[in-house]
Amino acid sequence: MLRFLASHSVLTCTINKNVNDIEVERLYGLTPACNYFIKNEDGASLSASLLASTDKTMFETCYYLDEVVLEPDFSVDEKWILHNWKDDECLILLKKCYEALPKGGKAIVVEGLVPKVPKADDDNATRDMCALDILMTMSFGAKERTEKEYEALAKGSGFDGIRLVCNACNLWVIEFLK
C-alpha cells in the first residue's frame, strides 16, 4: 500500500540503507496532499468523509431507493454522495430517486459547490473544494460541481430543478424538486 501511495505522489519514498542485496529499508514521508487527511488546527480533516464516502453501505443503499415506503411529503436524503460519481452515474442514481418520489417530493443532498471560475482571492472553503475536486477526479473519475452542473443533473434526471437551501463551509443543502 505504501508503494502504491508513493507511486501516486501521496507519499514520498527514499531508501535509507540496503539491508542485503535484495532488501532495502524504505522511509516514507507525507506530501502536501496528506494535509487534507491530517487534522488541521481546528481538528478537522477529510479522512472521515473519504472513508464514509467509499463505505460499502453508501453504495448499496442506492439500489433500494424504490423499495422505500413513500409518504406524501417524502424526501430522499443523500449526504455528500454525488461528487463520488461521474455525471452519467449521477443521472442513474437521481433517476432512481425521481422514480421513488411522489409528485411534489424532493431529494435532498449535501454537497460542495465549486465556482464557475475560481479566482486567486477565493476563500479557503472554495480553495478546499477545488482541491477536493482534484481528489474526486483522481480517486473516482468524478468531480465537484457548480450550481449549473447540479441544475443540469436535476433536469437530466427528470427533476424540475434545484433549490439551494443553506450552506456552511461551502457545503450546501440542495433540494432536487419533483
Active site members = 83
Alpha-carbon torsion angle 71, 74, 78, 83, nearest 10: 130
Residue 135 φ/ψ, nearest 5 degrees? -60, -45
The three grid cell numbers given for residue 83, joined into one nine-digit string: 461528487
How far is CA 65 from each of CA 70, 78, 81, 107, 118, rounded to the nearest angstrom? 10, 11, 14, 11, 35
How far is CA 76 from each of CA 71, 97, 172, rounded to the nearest angstrom? 11, 7, 16
